[in-house]
Amino acid sequence: MIVPNNWTGGTVPTVRVHDRVFAALLEALLSGRYEAGEKLPTQRALAADLGVTMSSVREALKRLEQMGLIDVRHGSAMRVRDWREHGGLDVLTHLLFRGGGLDAGILAAILEARALMLRELAGLAAQRRSDEQAEQIAGLAAHFAEQVDPHDAARVDFAFFTAVAQGAGNLVFELILNAIRDLYFAHLDAVPVTARPGELAPLYGRVARAIAGRDPDPARTAAFELACAQAAQVRG
């Protein structure tokens, strides 16, 4: 049985049933209840197990297939794929909030990866930015210094590092930021990287000045210190 503890059966509106079926199946994959290479039960069996319609199961399976977590072939059994090998950034949200709360280990890994990425972005931007991009980055740093509300500060923070990524001239980094945008803004209260903007503002200025001065090493150092200070605010 793969029904989660908060499953409420058929009284949930159809639009939410799809999401709950998806969450139940995804948790079964991430937890190893279905192992890599294993055949999934048929759609009919899953629908009966969860007490939902076949259409709800199909919708959930389609989402899992799009995430690269299952292999669906016409006329063959559905097989589980190793999520560590085939999963993308969209898996992070589910890993981070498994069990109804923040997973401390996953959060630490995300913050560490973020710090390393922002460090390299700043270094590349110092080497490659245009004058217009340097001016934009400096303007956003000054704008951040004016923020008081953490949510407003978070919006400026994302714009700042998006501008840094553009200055770095690396399309992959830009697309990574695009991929995490929804996760970033959806969970600002749970992961408050700009909880106390006034403490962080000088670090944005240091990053901007180093980029404007074409100094990659100071830019990397300042960006890494900023990301670490943000991680400390998240940890409280």
Where exactly does CATH 1.20.120.530 map onto the chain?
104-235
Confirm if 188 and 151 have CB atoms less than 8 A apart. Answer: yes
Query: How many CB atoms sit inside 10 A of residue 9's CB?
Result: 11
Q: What is the CATH number of domain 104-235?
A: 1.20.120.530
For the entire predicted model, the pTM comes to 0.77
Say whether pLDDT at 3 is over 80. Answer: no
* pLDDT band with cut points at 50, 70 and 90 for residue 75: low
Q: Which residue has the higher pLDDT, 168 or 94?
A: 168
* pLDDT band with cut points at 50, 70 and 90 for residue 10: very low
Say whether pLDDT at 200 is over 70. Answer: yes
What does the pLDDT average to over 171-190?
85
Contacts of residue 121, defined as CB under 8 A and 6 or more positions apart, other chains included, come to 161, 164, 165, 168, 170, 173, 223
Look at residue 7 in the predicted model and tell me its pLDDT.
44
Q: Give the tens place of pLDDT for each residue, 138-165.
A: 999 999 999 999 999 999 999 999 999 9
Q: What is the CATH number of domain 9-87?
A: 1.10.10.10
Q: Give percent above pLDDT 90 in the chain.
A: 58
Where exactly does CATH 1.10.10.10 map onto the chain?
9-87
What does the pLDDT average to over 63-77?
85
Contacts of residue 45, defined as CB under 8 A and 6 or more positions apart, other chains included, come to none
Q: Give the tens place of pLDDT for each residue, 22-37.
A: 989 998 998 889 889 9
> How many residues are present in the chain?
236
Confirm if 167 and 128 have CB atoms less than 8 A apart. Answer: yes
What does the pLDDT average to over 167-178?
91
